[in-house]
Structure 1
Amino acid sequence: MFTAQRTSRIPAGARTSVRMAVVALGALAVAALGAAPASAVTGSKAHGDDYAYVDGRYVYVYDGERDGNGVYAEYDLVNGQTGNRLWDGTGHDNVGNSTWASVDVKRFRVCEDHKGCSSWKS
């Protein structure tokens, strides 16, 4: 019976280098997958009659109280940028204010001047 022998055109030293390169590329792929960004947040938070709403990159804030206090949404982004603020500077007018963040929002809360903030939503 005829048995085929496996032969390679790549010299033995070069095969070892190729194997090491494949292992290194695999390790890089695993590391890249492990460094995936945090998830975007969706939902709303209230502080009295004031509220903020976020859906991915979209941010909306609304002042629902006629008390003279400013209202803003404070939000952090998935790229690590923190302390972003969106103000509803027009007061209680049934309109609110909105913007699109540069990347997805990681967490947010609604705050009212002189009154404090809601808890964070992430």
Structure 2
Amino acid sequence: MSKWKIDPAGVQTVLDNVKPDKESLEKALTEEKFQGVYDGLDWGSIITDAVPTAVSNVLNDQGTNLKNISNRINAGVIGVANATIAYNNGQEEMVGNFQTNMVSSAEDGDFSYFEEHGYKG
């Protein structure tokens, strides 16, 4: 059986550290910066006419890829944060169940709850 130990404060620290990195990535890859690249390619004559189209196609694909990366970062942060909350809520629920059954077992001597759930004293 695996043992889980999640430190919510540690998880939050990691998630907090992701945010500035993600924002830095988004600032570095703005639509305006891509437009600057397109504008810089318009100077060519017929000799370089195909270059802006080729670069535009590459950048459009990369824009989609970068949006997907950003979406995955956001989803990862939200998913990990919520998984940590759910884990801790589950832990609290289990503790409550065991404490409730501990009290009733102390009163009536019925330890079947603990036997059913594989916990032995």
TM-score normalised according to structure 1 size? 0.35
Question: Which has a greater percent of helix?
Answer: 2
TM-score normalised according to structure 2 size? 0.35
